[in-house]
Amino acid sequence: MVLLTDAARYAAINARIRALLTHLLPRHIWADLMQATTPTAYLDLLQRTPPYASLLPRDVSTQPPDHVERLLWGHAAAETRRPLVFLQGGQRDLVEWYWRRFEIHNLKAVLRAVDQGLPLNRIKERLIPLEGSRVPWDALAEVHSMADIIDRLAGTPYQSILQRAVGEYRRKGHVFVLEVALDLAYYRRLRNLANALRGRDGVEARRLIGLLVDAQNVLWAFRFRVYAHLSPEEILNYTLHRGVRVDVTLIQKIATGIPLVDVVRQIWGDRLGDLRPLSQVSEPRAVPMLERMLLRYAYRLARATLQGYPFHLGVVLGHAYLVEAEVRDLITLWAGLHAGWAPSRIRTALIRQ
């Protein structure tokens, strides 16, 4: 009976995901969007295209450009949550925690705003709209101090994380330490939830979530080394020591100077594609190139997952990856039009190739 129930539930999940996949933009709409030469033309087309027609109000063109970006991320967050009704136990815990990265984004925006002493009305302007969130965003938009933020987060998993880190924040006087505390706690739990799953669900979760955790950890380490010039000890303090393919030994190597392309070969081999461009540019240019390659690899993995055997958690995670890739590309196109980029430059920055 349990097996039959699981089969019926997975059939329902698969049917739900197939329906959600129809929300992704078809190729001919993307071709039309790529022909847009102004932000106004872009918005006009997107506002006539489901599901974005109901997402973007008619007067959105009068708002700052980043308002459109937040609405688009809100769409990605909403689509990620939709399969939760069919999930239970560890599967639900993982997907719900995966969704919480949008809450983390908003919390970091609130932390920065308060740290910078921005007017209270500016805090709400930085938040992604999140349906289903139990974080009291309206209350957080009225805080005046880090202590107020922590108090307002009672009953959420974020209060204890920030309580443990606020002492270091006060000593160092930099909001960075609070952001890192949230990020590390988020990815550590995401890894643990994926590792706790068994069977095909566990295999798929560790494949897709494992890529996300390892990729983020490597990118953190290189950003800290290349841009922030942190010491090896600081880099070790601000990264995860255990992922899937990435461990503390590899983080130590990055912290002490191993070339970026050598790390990529060691972890992913040739799965990211041609690595020669990474070795032909400076490290400050190679890091964003690597991030784009990893996002494209995740997109390919997600598509392949959705084309295979459908009765496992991978289809839920694969759908979430595809939605995020679409939203990232929509934001890249939107930002490129505002910046006056040539179409060729925009195209090379997209995830969906």
What CATH number is associated with residue 130?
Answer: 1.20.1690.10
At 2, is the pLDDT very low, low, confident or very high (cuts 50, 70, 90)?
A: very low
Note whether residue 23 is domain-resident: no
Q: What is the pTM of this model?
A: 0.94
Note whether residue 55 is domain-resident: no
Q: Which amino acid is at 254?
A: I
Q: What is the DSSP letter of 58?
A: G
Note whether residue 319 is domain-resident: no
Q: What is the largest CA-CA distance in the chain?
A: 60
How far apart are alpha carbons 27 and 309 in whole angstroms? 24
**Beta carbons within 10 angstroms of residue 308's beta carbon:** 11
Number of structural domains, the chain? 1
Q: Which of 329, 317, 259 has its CA nearest to residue 20?
A: 317
Looking at the chain, the number of H-run helices and the number of E-run strands are: 20, 0
Q: Which amino acid is at 35?
A: Q
Question: What's the pLDDT score for residue 4?
Answer: 39
At 148, is the pLDDT very low, low, confident or very high (cuts 50, 70, 90)?
A: very high
Note whether residue 111 is domain-resident: yes
Q: Provide the 3-class DSSP secondary structure of residue 332.
A: helix
How far apart are alpha carbons 288 and 278 in whole angstroms? 10
Query: Domain range holding 167?
Result: 88-196
In the predicted structure, residue 100 carries a pLDDT above the cut 90:
yes
At 3, is the pLDDT very low, low, confident or very high (cuts 50, 70, 90)?
A: very low
Q: What is the mean pLDDT of residues 186-204?
A: 97
Question: What's the pLDDT score for residue 1?
Answer: 35
In the predicted structure, residue 273 carries a pLDDT above the cut 60:
yes
In the predicted structure, residue 164 carries a pLDDT above the cut 80:
yes
In the predicted structure, residue 44 carries a pLDDT above the cut 60:
yes
In the predicted structure, residue 213 carries a pLDDT above the cut 80:
yes
Q: What angle do CA 280, 286, 291 make, to 5 degrees?
A: 140
Q: What is the mean pLDDT of residues 81-104?
A: 96
Question: What's the pLDDT score for residue 7?
Answer: 66
Residues 74, 79, 82, 87, CA torsion sign: negative
Note whether residue 146 is domain-resident: yes
Note whether residue 25 is domain-resident: no
In the predicted structure, residue 5 carries a pLDDT above the cut 80:
no
Question: What's the pLDDT score for residue 6?
Answer: 65
User: What average pLDDT does the structure give for the chain?
Assistant: 94
Q: What is the mean pLDDT of residues 175-180?
A: 97
Note whether residue 269 is domain-resident: no
Note whether residue 179 is domain-resident: yes
